[in-house]
Amino acid sequence: MLAAECRPVGIAVFSAQPTRIEYAPEVAAAMRRRQIAVLDAKHRDSVLTGVIDAVDDTVTRLTTRGLVELDDFERQALVKDLTVAFYTRGGGPAEPNQE
């Protein structure tokens, strides 16, 4: 493609190698924002997976050891409360406690 562009003015191109590629500033900024969004989504997913595992483990331990007996409504409430507690303490999007 480069050879075809240069041929009309008498320049013969046998090979070409790019030495540097730069994007327009707005394109580079958009690419950085996209990369950050992907990393943020991966981080949130891993945090949420950890929270879900911790909640499941906690509820299982409490019920199998006979420490609590839960009906469906109580189990749902406990899961909700533990999820909120673990997620806000474990690096989720909520503001950390100011102590």
Domain spans, the chain? 23-89
In angstroms, the Cα distances linking 83 to 54, 60, 74, 75, 87 are: 9, 14, 14, 12, 6
CB proximity list for 54: less than 8 A, separation 6 or greater = 82, 86, 90
Q: Is the pLDDT of residue 61 over 80?
A: yes
Q: What is the pLDDT of residues 15-56, one digit of tens each?
A: 888 888 888 889 999 999 999 999 999 999 999 899 999 999
For residue 3 the two structure tokens come to 């050879």
Question: d(Cα 15, Cα 25) in Å, to the nearest integer?
Answer: 29
Give the pLDDT of residue 96: 44
Give the pLDDT of residue 20: 85
> Confidence class of residue 93 from pLDDT cuts 50, 70 and 90?
low
For residue 97 the two structure tokens come to 């406690």
Give the pLDDT of residue 99: 41
